[in-house]
A = this chain, B = another copy of it.
Amino acid sequence: MKIKLVSINPTIGYLKHNFEKIIENIKISEKENIDLIIFPELSLIGYPPLDLLDKKSFIDEVISYNQKIAEYSGKVGVLFGSVTRIEDQIGTNIFNSAIFCFEGKIKSIHRKSLLPNYDVFDEVRYFEPSREIQLLEFKGKKFGVTICEDAWNDKDFWVHRKYDFDPVEEVVKLGAEIIINMSASPFSIGKEKIRTEMFSQIAHKHKKPTLFVNQIGANTDLIFDGGAKVFDRNGNLILASNRFEESSVLFDIDKIYNPITYDFPEDIVDVYNALILGIKDYCQKTGFKKVILGLSGGIDSALVTVLAKEALGSENVFCVMMPSQYSTEGSIKDSKKLIEKLGVKSTIIPINTLFDEFKKVLKNEFKDLQEDVTEENLQSRIRGVLLMALSNKFGYLLLATGNKSELATGYATLYGDMCGGLAPISDVYKTKVYELARFINRNDEIIPEEIIKKVPSAELRPNQTDQDTLPPYDVLDKILYYYIEEAKEVDEIVEYGFDKNLVEKILKMVDRAEYKRKQAAPGLKITNKAFGTGRRFPIVQRWR
């Protein structure tokens, strides 16, 4: 029996498009004499559809597409991810489901049992959990179908379990000979390793071949890294397709495979690929062809320029340099060097006259008052207004260039450098920004060394540096990491060897900047805890 696992890139809610993608793959597999083709979780819908799932008309249309896919199943068995409904007077009545069809008909429906409801996940909001497990029986074989989270609750793998039920154990008890997991499992640093080890252990523990297929593609903030994998009954990885692109593997049950060597990609390579996919899909799926961004001469905007160029091509990236009286000579020179190296489009718009005019207009209001952060923000906001004007006039998507360390501490100007439709590196710590720059320059100096070596500065007042306000980034980022990603508190972080006053100060900065982040552009999630939908704190609160 030949099984094909296909990782596809659906667009959320674009049912016709996603349907066609599925049909196209079914047709190809017919020619390849495939017995069973398997698509990822919610492959017809895209993940996460959020409140679209509350629309009856949406679910109606999904269900009618389910039927249409069944009609295309013919001699190839098709297992795809979608939503099903059971009419009832209690609860939401819809289920995150895997639908198996064959010979033009839906043969069995396998509903997700474990609904993730933490971090960026809100599945309990939409779906009913299922406790009815049945096997998929096809051509004399018994398959245990699980959907993403269903496989993430093995008591031998996790110290702390989220649920008291293990669907994998259940399908094995029922006699499954092969375990299938269809996922929409978003990328974060290190996840590929955990995922691979976990499925390897599941295969090994239950002594069953285990097949995994993940959704690929970015949907706003979430980046699905894709990939299909097959593990043999000893837990050896025997097949693996490319991640970060649509890909597939063909597994013949009756064939004997040798274990393959699978070198986990370095984190930095994964991050680089993820960010490029994130930018590319945001633009492609929203219909933007070109992006615009402010190039300051600093490393953040230089990095975003490189990523945008890789995602969209140099002809689609428009860089705007907006020097003020506080900008250093080097900033423009270095920016120009980068622009030339990348071949992206650019212009220079000095902001001095605008800055002067604002100060003049505000002179009466501000009389006898010292210049302070107000005037710094003013410069940042003038730049924001200019970029948005260009974005509006030409229909380019504005990319915000702030990093995670800034967004965490509030070292960013609301309606200024925070302007943008997408913030590609808002989940990338400053130290990781440097790491990415060095990775990009591994063979060739793409980002001018001057930019990498420059002392970080917002250049909003004379001789300003980031470290006037913040500790060195290697210290800051570690504290931020422990606080944001490891959920440690002051005393615990101090135990790692940091100064208590400093830790308290930083944590307070993070808490206080909540109101800014509430209005931030969506960012691409690459860590296990990004700002945005996965981290929800009240703005009005007094804890600490």
Contact = CB atoms under 8 A, between A and B. Distances in A.
Interface of A: 11-15, 17, 46, 48-52, 54-58, 89-92, 117-118, 122, 124-125, 159-164, 218-220, 281-282, 285-286, 347, 349-351, 353-354, 357-358, 360-362, 364-366, 369, 372-374, 377-378, 381-382, 384-386, 388-390, 392-393, 414-415, 419, 421, 487, 489, 491, 515, 518-522, 535-544
Nearest to A372: B393
A58 B349 contact: no
A377 B361 contact: no
B90 A541 contact: no
Given A285-B542, A372-B393, A365 B378 contact: no
Interface centre among A48, A366, A542 (most CB of B within 10 A): A542
A389 B348 CA distance: 25
A542 B347 contact: no
B542 A13 contact: yes
Contacts of A164: 90-91
A353 to B, nearest CB: 6
18 contacts: A12-B542, A13-B538, A17-B542, A46-B538, A48-B538, A50-B538, A52-B541, A55-B487, A55-B543, A58-B543, A90-B162, A91-B161, A285-B541, A285-B542, A358-B385, A369-B393, A372-B393, A381-B415
Contact of A393 (B13, B366, B392, B536): B366
A489 B55 contact: yes
A240 B236 CA distance: 68
Nearest to A16: B542
A322 to B, nearest CB: 10
A543 B16 CA distance: 10
Interface centre among A11, A369, A389, A538 (most CB of B within 10 A): A538
Contacts of A218: 540
Give how many copies assemble into the complex. 2
A535 B52 contact: no
A360 B350 CA distance: 12
A361 to B, nearest CB: 6
Nearest to A153: B90
A270 to B, nearest CB: 21
Nearest to A118: B125
Nearest to A48: B538
A415 B354 contact: no
Nearest to A415: B415
A59 to B, nearest CB: 11
A522 B516 CA distance: 11
Nearest to A384: B415
B415 A385 contact: yes
A50 B536 contact: yes
A349 B373 contact: no
A540 B357 contact: no
Contacts of A515: 421
Interface centre among A91, A361, A540 (most CB of B within 10 A): A540
A353 B361 contact: yes
Contact of A220 (B58, B489, B538): B538
